[in-house]
Amino acid sequence: MKRDFLSVSDFSKEEVIEIIRYGIELKRNKFKDRTISGKSIGLIFMKQSTRTRLSFEVGVYQMGGQPIYISGSSTQMSRGEDIKDTARVMSRYLDGIVIRTFSHKEVQDLARYSSIPVINALTDYLHPCQVMADLMTMYERFGTLKGKKVTYIGDGNNMANTWLIACGLMGIDISIATPEGYEPNGKAVLEAVELAKKSGAKIELTIDPLEAARSADVLYTDVWVSMGQEGDKDKKKVFEGYSINEKVLSEAKDRCIVMHCLPAHKGEEITEDIFERYSDIIFDQAENRLHIQKAIMSFLFRNL
């Protein structure tokens, strides 16, 4: 049966662990999995990208498939072609679709009307491939996800939304600190709370970064101004005090790690010295995009 990956919660807790462990195997042997050998995977990019495009193109190649990069502006979608029609046409040509775009509903509709697997490579609502890579990085560093606490400091954007849902699913405690008016999406909060009822995760939203960082195993941040918000010049003023700095780090556990999904604006959401101190971990996250996405593709296509 065809399955899609639009949110971390499209997988069970057990499936997430299985995929993480397989991603770690693929990191040791990059040509081990040939599940998509001979298959063509369309990579639709309505937004600019560095890590997402590179990791998917390289990953599809290493698995024996053909990556086909599709710039959003070069398709009929940019001229208003119905997403339902696009989905049905692409299903006749391709074996899978990876899409990075603005509207989450667009990705949901594409998956609904496609007969092939669809992978969400980022929307304004969620960024599940990134958080899967982050969970893999945590698993590598700690050997487990059990009993861990993630603290996210900054804008309540797609990364914050995805972390909420992932932690709710996996039983990881999470504390999110944002300025008033910049909280995560209410829908993501509600889903996380429902998932946490089963997993036992503690979900906390606060305006106090120091309170959020207390006893954290992971400190996590993202840029204050996301792609498409560059015109909001006043936003940076609102976020003063929401940096990962020495004071915030001192509230976390001694063996705490610092993570960033990149690109980073050093001196804003994170100080340069802390970024460089934890750069090995941050660039592990970036590398793990490649390995975890291969594991996700293998899982989706193996189960067809």
Catalytic sites, residue numbers: 100, 127, 130, 222, 261, 289
Residue closest to 59 by CA, chosen among 87, 39, 86, 89: 39
Local structure of 150: helix, strand or coil: strand
Number of alpha helices (DSSP H) and beta strands (DSSP E) in the chain: 12, 9
Token pair of 134, please?
Answer: 């982050």
The Cα 42–Cα 121 span in angstroms is 12
Q: Tell me how far apart the terminal alpha carbons of the chain are, to the nearest angstrom.
A: 5
The Cα 86–Cα 93 span in angstroms is 11
Which residues on neighbouring strands pair with residue 204, listed in sequence order? Answer: 175
20 and 295 in contact (C-beta within 8 Å)?
yes
Residue closest to 301 by CA, chosen among 85, 93, 100, 65: 65
Residue 86 CA to chain centroid, in angstroms? 25
The Cα 134–Cα 282 span in angstroms is 9
